[in-house]
Chain A
């Protein structure tokens, strides 16, 4: 899990502005996951293009194997959705529908999220948020949170193993203590890691009143333009579709 969430700056390939990535993420959530405007054919087509975008970004970051795997899954399930769902009924429909939900709608967003985390450093994120005039009170907790997820998951799986060994699991001897004996240790170590984190952040001047400067160079370049154009397309087509210009 650590590799998924830690920024790997040397191998990230195409450098996009964090704000561009955020827009792609929001577009994916609105159109791919939320299914907005799915009654308009052109919006549906563009949504597929935006959904494939995270996979292309993965290729530029040099993760070809992963990209190929996700690409094949997405393509396969999407075809299944187009050709089979309209004919299936009953239990088969439920199963296929769940697959479509997970792989066609959820997966692009998840890949984009993972790509976003693995290609953006905390400094860049804070710099970008600062440019968007998001207050510090939101950006600092958010950046801590995103960097903290891998820690929580890592600790959780270690605690899980330890508790299983002691028979504190579903079907084990002490299954009644299932939740207490997982959450409590998790919170204790999270609190400890947290105080280390705040000490580290204080040495970087997070607590001071003066305006912090940032050496990260962020800004929109040519690749950003292309990606932004694609990400903006579904919104434009959706509005055009609502007015009735396109079908």
Chain B
């Protein structure tokens, strides 16, 4: 049943290949060119290039290609862009650094390859960062997502003092020990682009090489979505939605359908974030809501494990869920 996963042999990590699309000039990469370059780079290094998951989520880690696929013994190498929504970070398009909607580039490699740091540095070189002039540092930053029952050790990677990537070796997901451990890279695309293009405002970024800016594409979106997130969204409807997603998640779990259950958990999580932005959840209630979402996500992970356990043990005799 998981044969397509097996196709991703982790054999091609030895010699980093040059990026195929070498920029024709010394001009820094545009936003879209940077994404394409990362796609090429990770594709050349054996990753499936996936598309964003079509649900609102707070971080790329929520993508089922990370959360669910990280579980289990199969090899899994994938890279994708994931739009992230963090309603409380909205600034009506007036802050040059803060957005309620932005992009993360995610790479997930399981098992973590021995030269993951070098592979990562190769990707930075590919998008034009010269390590003879830039100061790259691996600064301790352990990652934890109580919502996903997940944690890992790693670093935030600094380029000249700016955090450009979260680099994590997942140790647990959904409360389960990782067997084997996956390496996860999360690039902040806007930050990296601002850096490469030497721009002080995200809205001034060159989106392409033909003069379209990030602001032209997204500024209006930021203004309207900030207004809606903070001021307009109907909180009664949101509370109602939260309850319904919770119920639907439980319904899916009962039907032993981990993927729909997980999607409902993601939806509930986003609705909770919207309620937070509307300022209608008290500090005391906050914990209870987060606990609810965590239980849903963990339930989905557990269902995923249950569903695949027999197949995994058959193919990996030494593997066990516990």
Chain A bound to chain B: no
**Which chain A residues have a beta carbon within 8 Å of chain B's beta carbons?**
none
